[in-house]
Amino acid sequence: MSGKSTTKRPWRKELKKQQRKRRRRKEAVARDLRLEEEEAHNLKDPAYQQLLQQQVQLEEEQKRAAEKRHAEEEEIWLRRDLLAQREFRLKQQQRTALEAAEVAKRIKQAEELAAKEAEQRRRHEEHEKSKAAAAAEFEQMMECMENFLNNDGPPPAELRRVVESRPNQNLCILYERTNCCRYGAPCVNNHRRPLLSNIIVVRHFFMHPLLEVEQHKEYANADGSLELSEQDLREAYEDFFEDVLPELEEFGYILNFRAVRNVLRHMRGHVFVEYVDERSALKAFIKLQRRYYAGRQLNVEFSCIKSWRSAICGM
């Protein structure tokens, strides 16, 4: 300690503090003693004893009630916890099921795609194969035709064959009669076509506006009269006939020259040429195949027409 305060009789202050402390202790001891005496005195009183007992009972009841409440609360909490756990498991199961379904869907899609691709590949290969087979057959046929043309004697057996589009189906009556069918190659019935004949058919050879519209309205004037007449058609046909006949006659003697006077798309302008023999027809077939006339590539086939009357409607 230093300074003036230390010189101001500190012991006196300390003494007073000690005195206060002693007094308080003494008072406390006296109070405790008094309380003990009071308690001892009260304990001798039956009413006080009963009060104490009641107090103890009350405390015990309160304690039991608190324990019961606590137990109930705990049970509620446990149930809630169980419910939450069950809900979580359910959600997890649903999620797993959804994921499994998604995986299954993807696998199925991949399988379908693979099957589709395999089918496409198979079709492509089949197409290529049949294309190659057709090309080989064509080469062989052309060779047979060349041999037949360059040698005397009857045609070889290969050229006597009849090509059938659907061998196991019914004959297409229309094709048999006219060598034309509105369904063309996709027709469900069987189209028979000879590989050699003395008659050739040149498809869509003679074309004319009057043959190109099924109803001639487009060529009608306001009053309904036709701008192009049958006379025009006849003159055009005569011009066409004079134009093509000389070349066709170079291949051999012609017995019949007929054009289909029919506006139906699948028959329009077909020209049938009947030669005196198969060699002449074959020469025409080879020379005209894929040639162009009036801007259109010619398509020539051998025909098996048996009756002109049933095949062609005039002209």
Q: Which residues bind Zn ion (CB under 5 A)?
A: 172, 175, 181, 187, 189
| Apex 134 CA angle, 159 and 190, nearest 5 | 70
Q: Which is nearer to Zn ion, 175 or 251 (CB)?
A: 175
Least distance from Zn ion to the Cβ atom of residue 202, Å: 19
Least distance from Zn ion to the Cβ atom of residue 309, Å: 21
Instruction: Give dist(CA 49, CA 55) in Å, integer.
Output: 10
Q: Which is nearer to Zn ion, 172 or 273 (CB)?
A: 172
Least distance from Zn ion to the Cβ atom of residue 303, Å: 15
Q: How far is CA 23 from CA 18, 30, 215, in A?
A: 9, 11, 140
Instruction: Give dist(CA 150, CA 144) in Å, integer.
Output: 10
Q: Which is nearer to Zn ion, 10 or 184 (CB)?
A: 184
Least distance from Zn ion to the Cβ atom of residue 172, Å: 3
Least distance from Zn ion to the Cβ atom of residue 170, Å: 10
Element (H, E) at 117: helix 46-150
Q: Which is nearer to Zn ion, 187 or 254 (CB)?
A: 187
- Is 192 within 8 Å of 171 (Cβ atoms)? yes
For residue 203, give the 3-state DSSP assignment. Answer: coil
Q: Hey, what amino acid is at 185?
A: A
Q: Which is nearer to Zn ion, 147 or 189 (CB)?
A: 189
